[in-house]
Amino acid sequence: METDEIQAPTGSAVTVQKRDGRLIVHTRITLPVRFITESGHEGVGETVQFSTNGVHFRTPMPEHPSGNLVCYIEGLGRLNGTVARVSGRNIAMVFDTSDLKRDRIADQLIWLLNKDKFDLSEDRRAERYRETGNLKAICSDGREISCSIVNMSLTGVAVTTPDKRPFVGEAVEIGNKRGTVARYVDGGFAVEFTI
């Protein structure tokens, strides 16, 4: 594997590498991370460096995870991958994701790097509306979950619940709509409606 580093301007948050004929962009960005190890231990940390192939983050967690990780990175959502290396409290994870998801990660990283500089607003597929109210979510196993609406759009809803959350990727019926649990949010979960 042949790697050439392409110089970035001094002080730039971006480094570009050419590896096997492909350009890989690494960026220094600090974002909160929550993660779950293969053994079920949960941890927190913050990113140090990011690319469309993986992430390097620091954690105060003393355990040295290995194998698979699931990370929830603020602004980027859930990312699955494998621990590539651990050094002290630094963890490098390689993403296990499709090329399409890598393209989305690149778009999100560019937006995160530029949002403050250019005063950008979030580019969502559908406008969110703050709503209130209670409803029930019915899981694929028939379990009912009491929920309170946080916000909703034409494409989904975010809810909080005191109950055990359904798994990410699980099919649910929420109100009179069917959907899939897309991600966890503080104290609840978000559902993307099946259209």
pLDDT of the residue at 19: 56
pLDDT of the residue at 68: 92
pLDDT of the residue at 107: 74
pLDDT of the residue at 125: 47
Alpha helix (H) residue ranges in the chain? 99-114
End-to-end C-alpha distance for the chain, whole angstroms = 43
Which range, of 10-24, 46-60, 141-155, averages the lowest pLDDT? 10-24
Contact 35, 71 (CB under 8 A): yes
Averaged pLDDT of the chain: 80
Which range, of 22-36, 65-79, 139-153, averages the lowest pLDDT? 22-36
Give mean pLDDT, residues 160-166.
Answer: 93
Q: Kindly tell me if the per-residue pLDDT of 6 is higher than 60.
A: no
- pLDDT tens digits, 39-48: 888 889 999 9
Give mean pLDDT, residues 11-15.
Answer: 58
Q: Kindly tell me if the per-residue pLDDT of 20 is higher than 80.
A: no
- pLDDT tens digits, 103-138: 778 777 777 777 666 665 554 444 555 556 898 999
| Tokens read off for 176 | 């009179």
Q: Kindly tell me if the per-residue pLDDT of 75 is higher than 60.
A: yes
pTM equals 0.54
Report angle CA 6, 50, 9 to the nearest 5 degrees: 35
pLDDT of the residue at 105: 80
pLDDT of the residue at 103: 76
Q: Kindly tell me if the per-residue pLDDT of 29 is higher than 60.
A: yes
| Tokens read off for 82 | 């494998």
Percentage, residues of the chain above pLDDT 90: 30
pLDDT band at 147 (very low <50, low <70, confident <90, very high): very high
CA distances from 156 to 1, 150, 189 (A): 43, 11, 11
Give mean pLDDT, residues 176-189.
Answer: 88
